[in-house]
Amino acid sequence: MIKVILARLQQKHRTMTYPDGAPPPLPDRFRGRPVIDAAKCPDGCRACFEACPTGALDANDPARIDLGKCLFCTECAHACPQKAITHSNNYQLAARNRSELIVARERQAVEVVGAALDAKLKKLLGRSLKLRQVSAAGCNACEADTNVLGTVGWDLGRFGIQFVASPRHADGLLVTGPVSKNMELALKKTYDAVSDPRIVIAVGTCAISGGPYIGHTQVNNGVAALVPVDLYVPGCPPHPLTILDGLLRLIGRIEDGVRKG
């Protein structure tokens, strides 16, 4: 026991201070919210659109990117002859509505962030949110970054958010993966097992739109095709900070970077 105490004193406090303090440093290779310099887009150029593997760009207006389909692979940025597309360090990508995931020329200065639940749900779930995680044919990348939130460095439990083993004990679902046909019934049954009121969080591009499997006959192109979604967290996979920020904004624990409660 003494050795454990001494080791703990030597390690000191390792949980990040966010959102009371600054967010943890992001790696140099981090790819956040895309930024499009529409003025650089040459007329008639479709290089970025043709390079995108998931159709995240609009063929009629290349200065529009659907974050719900984007893999953040930077193929569009590399293909653009004028280097009009870059990726910022903005990790605040979550949104309540699917339409808010569209990055367009007229919204360059607008942050896409998840708004809080309505007052009733916020009162019920804002202090204690239990989630059942459903891996609906995911590759485990989104699952891994979600699991990181349970480590001592992130300590998701300090916000009252926990993952539970049974949907009977959950307030909602956190779903990853494109929802394959084989997982369709399992997802529906898990959703039905959660009592009302319940919420659903789609984490990762696959869960939002099908990701690289979009249009395949064996997937449902995301969660929304089967159950209603309350929060979309784009990324392939989304950084743990993106997931955490979206969750905290959803339950109203932070607003404009300020922690509440």
d(CA 221, CA 140): 17
For residue 181, give the nearest of 137, 224, 246, 142 by alpha carbon: 137
For domain 119-259, give the CATH number: 3.40.50.12280
- Considering only CA atoms, which of 34, 38, 47, 118 is closest in space to residue 76? 47
Contacts of 117 (CB under 8 A, 6+ apart): 125, 126, 199, 230, 250, 251, 252
Domain positions in the chain are 34-91+98-107, 119-259
Per-residue pLDDT of the chain in tens (261 residues, 90 and over written 9): 788 777 767 766 678 889 888 899 999 999 999 988 878 877 778 888 899 999 998 877 767 899 999 999 999 999 988 888 899 999 999 999 999 998 875 444 444 455 677 777 787 787 889 999 999 999 999 999 999 999 988 999 999 999 999 999 999 999 999 999 999 999 999 999 999 999 999 999 999 999 999 999 999 999 999 999 999 999 999 999 999 999 999 998 876 544 444
Phi, psi for residue 195 in degrees, rounded to 5: -75, 155
CA angle 107, 72, 149 (to 5 degrees): 100
Rounded Cα–Cα distance for residues 65 and 23 (Å): 26
Ramachandran angles phi, psi of 212, nearest 5°: -70, -10
Using the structure block, give the residue that is written with the tokens 């891996």: 135
Amino acid at residue number 8: R
Predicted pLDDT of residue 155: 93
- Predicted pLDDT at 13: 66
* Lookup: tokens for 202: 């789609």
> Could you give phi then psi for residue 189, rounded to 5 degrees?
-65, -40
pLDDT at residue 115 in the model? 67
Give the predicted TM-score (pTM) of the model.
Answer: 0.89
Q: What is the CATH number of domain 34-91+98-107?
A: 3.30.70.3270
Which residues, 6+ apart, have CB-to-CB distance to 210 below 8 Å? 178, 216, 219, 220, 221, 222
